[in-house]
Amino acid sequence: MAKETEFDPFEVDDSNEIGDYTAKVLSSTFDTDPEYNDGETLLLQWDMEITGGDVNFETRKMSFTCGSKFESPDGGKTAAHESIKNKGFNSQSRMGMLCKRAFFTGQGKTPTIGGATDGEEIEAFGLRDHFAAMGTHPLEARGWVGIEFAIHSESRDWGGEIGVRSFEMPIEVIALPTEGEDKPKAKKKAVAKKKVAKKATVDWDQVKEAVLNAGAEAEDFETFIVVGTAYVTDAEIPEETEGFSDFFDWLGDEDEGGWAQYIEDE
């Protein structure tokens, strides 16, 4: 039997990546966070209970950005676009990435979203039937409560000043809730003074150059979009940043945008 290493409180821990673990969603609500984009961006927020894994915490909070101009008109139960009726989440938002994994119904698999270093494919979660059986959908927060996920810390080295960025995402459904677990727990909504949003400035030419360099991992147009989206997500560029929409127009233009430029350079 291997001898357990004695803990030395004088030693420092140089690791900055959390290992894999499993967790059950205890509560789910739409809310803002003053620590993220000055509280201007709506987030899906989970409170989770750790159910397995070599981690030193028992509970965990996880949040997913909903995209520009989303709000919750009913205190966190639902999300809605402030001006466009029946609009789903932006595919480039973290919530859009979660929905791709949860509800993808193509060939049974969906590529890893967000730039995981292993580049492997993950099985789609197949949660569409579960949500339908509950009479809910992704624009309601309650559908996630009671689901147990495997959580993986995904990371990518973007080089330069950005360096390595890590973020946690569900990669597998471990178990669906038993009867009665799908009722969200009440969460008191914090009342905070609304701050004036700060205008972020980004050198989009530099971003495009970095995406073209990162695009060396892309074998087709679809993967190139995933790589570009992952770069902006990991760089934590707010969707309200001037030029954000123009960048994704460039990224998504197969004939004259980033992909065409990448093919030409090759």
Residue 154 CB neighbour total at 10 angstroms: 21
Higher pLDDT: 95 or 264? It is: 95
Least confident of 59-68, 120-129, 185-194, 216-225: 185-194
Per-chain mean pLDDT for the chain: 75
Classify the C-alpha dihedral 55-56-61-66 as positive or negative.
negative
Q: What average pLDDT does range 64-82 have in this prediction?
A: 91
Q: What average pLDDT does range 68-93 have in this prediction?
A: 88
Q: Are 234 and 114 in contact (CB under 8 A)?
A: yes
SS3 sequence of 124-164: CCCCHHHHHHCCCCCCEHHHHCCCEEEEEEEEEECCCCCCE
Q: Are 154 and 116 in contact (CB under 8 A)?
A: yes
Higher pLDDT: 247 or 39? It is: 39
Q: What are phi and psi of 157, to 5 degrees?
A: -95, 110
- Label residue 25 left, alpha or beta by phi (over 0 means left) and psi (-120 to 50 means alpha): beta
Q: Report pLDDT digits (tens) over 204-252.
A: 888 888 877 766 556 677 777 777 777 777 677 777 777 777 787 787 7
Residue 137 CB neighbour total at 10 angstroms: 14
Q: Above 50 in pLDDT, residue 114?
A: no
What percent of the chain has a predicted confidence (pLDDT) above 90? 24
Among all chains, which residue has been given the structure tokens 């090759």? Answer: 266
Return all residues near 264 (Cβ < 8 A) that are at least 6 apart: none
What pTM was estimated for this model as a whole? Answer: 0.59
pLDDT of residue 107: 42
pLDDT of residue 122: 61
pLDDT of residue 141: 94
Higher pLDDT: 74 or 101? It is: 74
- Write down the domain spans for the chain: 21-175, 204-265
H or E segment at 246?
helix 244-252
Q: What average pLDDT does range 24-36 have in this prediction?
A: 93
Which pLDDT band holds residue 161 (cuts at 50, 70, 90)?
low
Q: What average pLDDT does range 69-88 have in this prediction?
A: 90
